[in-house]
Amino acid sequence: MSLQPDVIRVDVDADGIATLTIDYPGKSMNVIDQAFLDGLNAAIGRVQSDAAIRGAIITSGKDAFVAGADLVSMESNLNSMLDDPLDVALEKYQSLSRAVRRIETCGKPVVAAINGTAMGGGYEVCLACHWRVMSTAPGVVVGLPEVQVGLLPGGGGTQRLPRMIGIVPAMPWLMEGKTADADTALKAGLVDALAPPAELMAAARRWLMDSPRAAQPWDAKGFQIPGGGPLDPRVSPAFVVGTTMLQAKTFGNIPAPLAIQSCLFEGAQLPIDKALRVECKYLLQVSMRSPVSRSMIRTLFINKSKAEKGLHRPAGFPVSPCRKLGMVGAGMMGGGIALNAAQRGIPVVLIDRDLPAAERGKAYAVKALSRQVDKGRMTQDKADAILARITPAADFNGLRDADVVVEAVFEDRAIKAEVTRQLDAVLPAHCVLATNTSALPITLLAQASRFPERFIGLHFFSPADRMPLVEVIRGKATSDATLARALDFIAQLRKTPIVVNDARGFFTSRFIGAFIDDAIGMVAEGIEPALIENCARHAGMPVGPLAITDELSIELSVHAGQAQQREFPDEYQPGRSVPVLQRLYELGRLGKKVGKGFYDHDTAGKRLWPGLSGLYPVRQAQPDPHDLKQRILFVQAIEAVKAMEEGVLMNPADGDLGSILGVGYPAYTGGPFCFIDGIGPAAFVQEADRLAGLFGEHLRPPAMLREMARSGQTFHGRHARPQPAMPH
């Protein structure tokens, strides 16, 4: 018999075993929202009150168990939560924790039959059950990844997991957001048993028929946490070391990991119900008192999901999978794109000027897959199957039935134009012709084609087989059909697209360029190079700007600037970094590849070149490190606003995603537009004016920002400025 055809069905068999099947109608995955909570409360209430029920199994009617929070309701909550008084907010934040607590206190044994992936709140439901059996089906994982979007588990995860496996073993699962497959989960104690998919429900039922106790160990008088409590000498050093490591890793920019540590330390000294309140209070703190979690959730969860689900895909075109890819240019970029496509099941013709060069491009895939096999992450048979999809070639004849061709030859308009003309002669009419470029305008490149409507820019990031972002650049002639097919191709590659309008440098190149150009300009100002590098790291940049420049090559930077000057003599304006880079280039300091640039590189590592101070003497009075960190973050955010003002970016979500996933803007900011919103446009304008007074007019806020500050507009949320539609 069934309770209701709603989010959770309750069926009771002749032995009194109730099966609670989570099967959210109208959704491809089970998510946690108010309807889920209402259904869970009703189902547990039924189990508790029905004398005919002796125990319950919670499982899913979908391939996954429960994926976590609902995207739509989460976005709505982001926009409204700041208006709630503290007591009202706390009540809301406790709703999941209260519902989950009812599972373990209902007086009857409950089993989690984890038939698919259980993440975040979904796994917290499992933790509250009295026993957990997990399917051994491939791809099934469990975990608490909330820290990755600036949150902490708010449904009891920080309290139940340490009570199950111990405080120290629980730390990496909570503070790093690690996930575990079935074997790892059993070994770590995250689940109690494993079963093949066909035997999962039978295993859960057998455990219930043995009439186990319907109480958790931590509800028993005298319960002790395995391995000792927070003050135990075996455990307490982990908090001291952990706090130090957190500071070294996050520089205090991300509050969630420290809040999780506090939940562990404080909650583990309290009875479970009081501990759960402590957890909710810290969740409230990282959500409402800090913009970090709101920004990270908005960009890395909500807007990333929207982009991957076709935010910018023109309507009215059927999905067009790529059944054959042509990859022209077999360098590191071309080899990486070919490998990525082959891994996703797409046959690839990999073309270069001659067959040996094309074979070298395939060797990139051979080397990358060999590493996976050597580490036990892939079988040799699977690696061989992937490699079999890559066919090296020296001519374009194999592309007559291609659906997509990506050209990644040298960044030279003449060379790209010649390749485009040759491709025009062989490609079928429906084929998308994409150029991989980081700066050359797509509309100009498309002039070489007889079919500019099928020409589009796809800017991949190196290494292309691992970097998650593709910047899609729409030329003035690019058709809706071409954009739709290009986005379908990116979805096949399982990458995240952003869509921008055509302009030199697009978005990501000019964005990271603003950071590097200004930072190298600081060297000429007499700012200590080590201070520049360290402030960048403390601000949250993954690598210092001088180290990045050495990695990318000073020689390449100089030649790229010269090429831009040749290509666009009327538009080109040399940046503040150009004289510094030119001087190092003339001294033969070409970057890491020759062992010397801003740094001296050798087998022992790298050290800043002492001779730099001879070229650019360090001034006696150095800027305040706080001001330098602000300068590093603000100069990039200001460049993003300029890109929006000029119509290159049509949606702030694209700028936020592109900055983090493509070029390493700190994830804790949520991207430049979330960063501005978090500070508040009016306060941002005031601080930018202060920085411009200290460091120069390039930090002066654009007119768009001043107008937003006056009108009370933001980039995201209820007061977001109107966004222009993408051109069609």
- CATH assignment of the domain containing 444: 3.40.50.720
Residue 56 within a domain: yes
Q: pLDDT for 203-249, tens place per residue?
A: 999 999 997 889 999 999 999 999 999 999 999 999 988 888 888 88
543 lies in the same domain as 657: no
Contact in structure between 683 and 634 (CB atoms under 8 Å): no
87 lies in the same domain as 201: yes
Instruction: Give residue 3's pLDDT.
Output: 41
23 lies in the same domain as 164: yes
> By percentage, how much of the chain surpasses pLDDT 90?
84
Give the model's confidence band at 2: pLDDT under 50 very low, under 70 low, under 90 confident, else very high.
very low
What mean pLDDT value characterizes the chain?
Answer: 94
Whether the pLDDT of residue 653 is over 50: the answer is yes
Least confident of 130-134, 146-150, 572-576, 674-678: 572-576
Of the three residues 503, 526, 544, the one that is the final residue of a domain is: 503
Instruction: Give residue 365's pLDDT.
Output: 96
Beta bridge partners of 605: 602
Instruction: Give residue 574's pLDDT.
Output: 87
Instruction: Give residue 243's pLDDT.
Output: 84
H or E segment and range at residue 339 = helix 332-343
Question: Which residues in 292-311 are b (16+ Cβ under 10 Å) and which e?
Answer: bbbbbbbbbbbbbebbbeeb
Domain count, the chain: 4
**Mean pLDDT (whole number) for 341-349:** 98
In sequence order, the 6+-apart residues with CB closer than 8 A to the CB of 463 are: 332, 336
**Mean pLDDT (whole number) for 495-522:** 95
Cα distances (Å, whole numbers) of residue 283 to 90, 115, 408, 580: 9, 29, 46, 47
Residue 462 within a domain: yes
Three-state DSSP at 561 gives: helix
Instruction: Give residue 73's pLDDT.
Output: 74
Who has greater pLDDT, 301 or 629? 629
591 lies in the same domain as 683: no
82 lies in the same domain as 227: yes
- Catalytic residue status for 538: no
587 lies in the same domain as 654: no
Residue 320 within a domain: no
Residue 315 within a domain: no
Ramachandran assignment for 252, one of left (phi > 0), alpha (psi -120 to 50 degrees), beta (any other) = left
Whether the pLDDT of residue 352 is over 80: the answer is yes
601 lies in the same domain as 644: no
Long-range pairs for 6-15: beta carbons < 8 A, 24 or more residues apart: 6/35, 6/39, 7/35, 7/36, 7/38, 7/39, 7/40, 8/36, 8/39, 8/40, 8/42, 8/43, 9/61, 10/43, 10/46, 10/47, 12/50, 12/52, 12/53, 15/54, 15/209
Which amino acid, residue 390?
Answer: I
Whether the pLDDT of residue 114 is over 50: the answer is yes
Whether the pLDDT of residue 316 is over 60: the answer is yes
Of the three residues 468, 503, 538, the one that is the final residue of a domain is: 503
Contact in structure between 116 and 88 (CB atoms under 8 Å): no
Give the model's confidence band at 78: pLDDT under 50 very low, under 70 low, under 90 confident, else very high.
low
Of the three residues 615, 646, 662, the one that is the final residue of a domain is: 615
Residue 36 within a domain: yes
36 lies in the same domain as 67: yes
Q: Residue 666 and residue 658: Cα distance in Å, rounded?
A: 12
Give the model's confidence band at 63: pLDDT under 50 very low, under 70 low, under 90 confident, else very high.
very high
Residue 308 within a domain: no
In sequence order, the 6+-apart residues with CB closer than 8 A to the CB of 133 are: 111, 112, 113, 114, 191, 192, 193, 194, 195, 200, 203, 204, 207
Whether the pLDDT of residue 4 is over 80: the answer is no
Whether the pLDDT of residue 355 is over 90: the answer is yes
Residue 720 within a domain: no
Closest by Cα among 77, 187, 185 to 134: 185
Residue 652's domain spans which residues? 633-711
Whether the pLDDT of residue 412 is over 90: the answer is no
110 lies in the same domain as 232: yes
**Mean pLDDT (whole number) for 607-613:** 95
Who has greater pLDDT, 206 or 722? 206
- Burial class (CB within 10 angstroms; exposed 0-12, middle 13-18, buried 19+) of 193: middle
Read off the pTM. 0.91
Whether the pLDDT of residue 507 is over 60: the answer is yes
Whether the pLDDT of residue 627 is over 50: the answer is yes
Instruction: Give residue 5's pLDDT.
Output: 53
CATH number of the domain enclosing 526:
1.10.1040.50
Q: Which of 130, 312, 430, 459 is catalytic?
A: 459
258 lies in the same domain as 339: no
**Mean pLDDT (whole number) for 386-413:** 95
Nearest-10 Cα torsion for 426, 432, 438, 440: 60
Q: pLDDT for 255-290, tens place per residue?
A: 999 999 999 999 999 999 999 999 999 998 898 778
157 lies in the same domain as 203: yes
Ramachandran assignment for 177, one of left (phi > 0), alpha (psi -120 to 50 degrees), beta (any other) = left
534 lies in the same domain as 488: no
Give the model's confidence band at 42: pLDDT under 50 very low, under 70 low, under 90 confident, else very high.
very high
Q: Residue 501 and residue 708: Cα distance in Å, rounded?
A: 22
Give the model's confidence band at 1: pLDDT under 50 very low, under 70 low, under 90 confident, else very high.
very low
Instruction: Give residue 70's pLDDT.
Output: 74
Residue 312 within a domain: no
